[in-house]
Structure 1
Amino acid sequence: MKAVRCKDWGPPESLEVAELPDLAPGPGEVVVDVRAAGVNFPDVLTVQGKYQYRPELPFTPGNEFAGVVRAIGPGVTAYAPGQAVIGFTRTGAFAEQALAPLESLLPVPDGMDFDTAAAITLTYGTSYHAVADRGALQPGETMLVLGAAGGVGLAAIEIGKALGARVIAAASSDEKLAVCKDHGADALINYEREDLREAIKAATGGRGPDVVYDPVGGRYSEPALRSIAWRGRHLVVGFAAGEIPRLPWNLMLLKGASVVGVFWGDFTRKEPAAHAAAMRRLMDWMAEGKLRPLVSKRYALEETAQALNDMAGRKVVGKVVIAP
């Protein structure tokens, strides 16, 4: 089989496509023929050795995929060869075959294509854990989403609306904001053209958002936190801008606010029952049409470096996938 390989930490251009032996499942494991693999910002950091989790070299990057069961290991009865599945693993998705433990798989819902199925686990899982669990967003509250046109941002908008909240989308261009509006955003802020604090004030009547969903960091975090409502929750999801902000702690004191960390990967491992319940709710919302994953582009396996560079360069709207 063909697989993308990271042999040393470095930029996406250092990745190679190599021929590897076909995978064989062990007890409780499943081998899947990958039809599509979702690309996420942590993939950019992982190949550079900058993510919280550093795999042992060499490895195949990518951690979410959809495809068809190729083989099952001893003890696996829930799935059979030929069945369409969604999978999430720490590594191994950017390949023609992926190996996954039984508990990390879900059946592909009827009528869902593989590209869409590969765009669900990390983005919607992260955003649900952030918004519903860590942020405890309530009906009637207001949420500000930074980096709103990215994969997790669009997922956060849709989840916020499904929970009955008002959602303000902030992004870097009018074209991106148009996509946010199409996915349910109630108000729009172009933070490359507008003063972010003043725009938030105008959009909330001076009250500020109850929840700030922040996958961006950098220069946007502090003005968003300064604008937050009393008892607000600022969700730290990631740092796509590249800079980890240094926030003045007095801001939390003055607003009675909380800065809340969101690490979905460890949540899935440390709280598997809660994760399973979250995924069931997301699948129900998918079936009801409340969630509409946007896959804006497909790349070949040999184009993985370009996909990661587009992600790092903030050129991606919604999700992109690699199609082996």
Structure 2
Amino acid sequence: MPRVVVFDETGGPDVLRVVDEPVIEPAAGEVRVRIEAFAVNPLDQMVRAGQSPRPVQLPHARLGVEGTGVIDALGSGVTGLAVGDPVILGAVPDFETRGAYAEYTTLLADRVVPRPAGLEPVGAAALWVSYFTAYGALVDRAGMRPGDQVLITAASGGVGRAAIQIARQIGAVPIAVTRQSARVQSLLAAGAAAVIATDREDIGEATRRHTGGVGADIILDAVMGPGLAELSLAAKLGGTLATVGWLDPRPASFPANPSLTIHRYMSFADMVDPQTARRVAAFLAAGVRTGVLQPTVDRVFPLDDIIEAHRYLEKGTPAGKIVVTP
């Protein structure tokens, strides 16, 4: 029987286990997808550890909001899709019972998007959540335009690297922020116009130096925490701050730049809208086709090593996405 990752209690990575479960037939309006690869995200870690923003049904809960595979079966009433179509899971509903950490999963037919041609499963598994988040925050909310100076925190992570590439595709100027000087060269190679390493320089002073003394037009922040007030001062007067994560779990300080327009962007709220998903999918497919958008994968684990994959995530050092292959 197909394998599935489940957990019966919240806690550390060791609560995860791989079990056999029968294949589920898709209901009306659903498709069944044979998973070829899935990504491990910070949200998965939060859910597993009991820090989920909403309650999780235990025991036998599942994980996984992101993956890719091939349509294996169609429920009644599904049109426009066929068995054998390569797809990306656009939004997994009820992931506690039908998550992507599995060899098969079912979901509504309008929650899958075509996998861009030429993108292999491992790369496709690293595409959707990070790039959708970066696009939604920068383009849909912050209104990023060509020439904008965009400051990107946690730039070595999946969303950060996606934001660098999307800014380049739009014609904006991405300025990456990292805590480690050792990552400067890799971020320049990833397309950053400049890199600020906070272990050796002040973020505000460095941003003004790179922007001719003006400050960033847009700040994309995935960290939050007490440093948010200092970060806000790196924006220009009348600039925009878009927050997309909470890598620092401590309470966030209030932005010290009163002229900022602030957006708190939650990508999963947009992913469930089919029209928005199709629009973002078209943008990403165009970027993949031209080679501007190239998902960065840090490490690939087999399904049997899912505990090690979560341990690696908890180290907080991935340079890109962590991907698992069944």
Match of 1:259 in 2: 262
Match of 2:68 in 1: 66
Give deviations 1:60-83, integer Å, cap 9, x for gaps: 101111112221111123222222
When normalised by structure 1's length, the TM-score is: 0.93
| Cα distance in 1 for residues equivalent to 2:138 and 2:144 | 6
Give 3-state SS (helix, strand or coil) of 1:156's partner: helix
Give 3-state SS (helix, strand or coil) of 1:189's partner: strand
2:315 to 313, 316, 321: 313
Letter in 2 for 1:159: I
Give deviations 1:148-177, integer Å, cap 9, x for gaps: 010000001111111111111011223433
Pairing 1:149–2:156 present: yes
Give 3-state SS (helix, strand or coil) of 1:43's partner: helix
Equivalent residue runs for 1:85-124 within 5 Å: 85-88=87-90, 89-90=92-93, 91=95, 92-124=99-131
**Following TM superposition, by how much is the alpha carbon of 1:212 offset from its aligned partner in structure 2, in angstroms?**
0.6
Match of 1:245 in 2: 252
Give deviations 1:207-231, integer Å, cap 9, x for gaps: 1111111011224422210221011
CA contact (8 A) 1:299 1:322 kept: yes
| Cα distance in 2 for residues equivalent to 1:144 and 1:33 | 38
CA contact (8 A) 1:171 1:190 kept: yes
**Following TM superposition, by how much is the alpha carbon of 1:259 offset from its aligned partner in structure 2, in angstroms?**
1.7
CA contact (8 A) 2:226 2:253 kept: no
Match of 1:56 in 2: 57
Going from structure 1 to structure 2, the CA distance change for 1:187 and 1:295 (only over 3 Å counts) comes to same
Give deviations 1:274-314, integer Å, cap 9, x for gaps: 33212211211211111111112111112222222322322
Pairing 1:43–2:61 present: no
Instruction: Calculate the aligned-residue CA RMSD, in Å.
Output: 1.6
Equivalent residue runs for 1:291-306 within 5 Å: 291-306=293-308
Give 3-state SS (helix, strand or coil) of 1:232's partner: strand
Equivalent residue runs for 1:1-324 within 5 Å: 1-57=2-58, 58-88=60-90, 89-90=92-93, 91=95, 92-248=99-255, 251-253=256-258, 256-269=259-272, 271-324=273-326
**Following TM superposition, by how much is the alpha carbon of 1:103 offset from its aligned partner in structure 2, in angstroms?**
0.7
Give 3-state SS (helix, strand or coil) of 2:238's partner: coil
Give 3-state SS (helix, strand or coil) of 2:323's partner: strand
Letter in 2 for 1:290: V
Letter in 2 for 1:264: S
Give 3-state SS (helix, strand or coil) of 2:316's partner: coil
Aligned positions, number:
319
| Cα distance in 1 for residues equivalent to 2:264 and 2:139 | 13
Give 3-state SS (helix, strand or coil) of 2:164's partner: helix
| Cα distance in 2 for residues equivalent to 1:184 and 1:142 | 14
| Cα distance in 2 for residues equivalent to 1:178 and 1:99 | 41
| Cα distance in 1 for residues equivalent to 2:151 and 2:55 | 31
| Cα distance in 1 for residues equivalent to 2:65 and 2:36 | 14
CA contact (8 A) 1:131 1:137 kept: yes
Give 3-state SS (helix, strand or coil) of 1:122's partner: helix
| Cα distance in 2 for residues equivalent to 1:6 and 1:208 | 46
CA contact (8 A) 1:149 1:177 kept: no
Give 3-state SS (helix, strand or coil) of 2:216's partner: coil
Give deviations 1:85-136, integer Å, cap 9, x for gaps: 1113142111111212101112222222101111111010011000001111
For structure 2, the residue ranges without an aligned partner over 5 or more in a row are none
Give 3-state SS (helix, strand or coil) of 1:131's partner: helix
Going from structure 1 to structure 2, the CA distance change for 1:99 and 1:176 (only over 3 Å counts) comes to farther
Give 3-state SS (helix, strand or coil) of 1:125's partner: helix
Range 170-179 or range 293-302, more displaced: 170-179
CA contact (8 A) 1:36 1:118 kept: yes
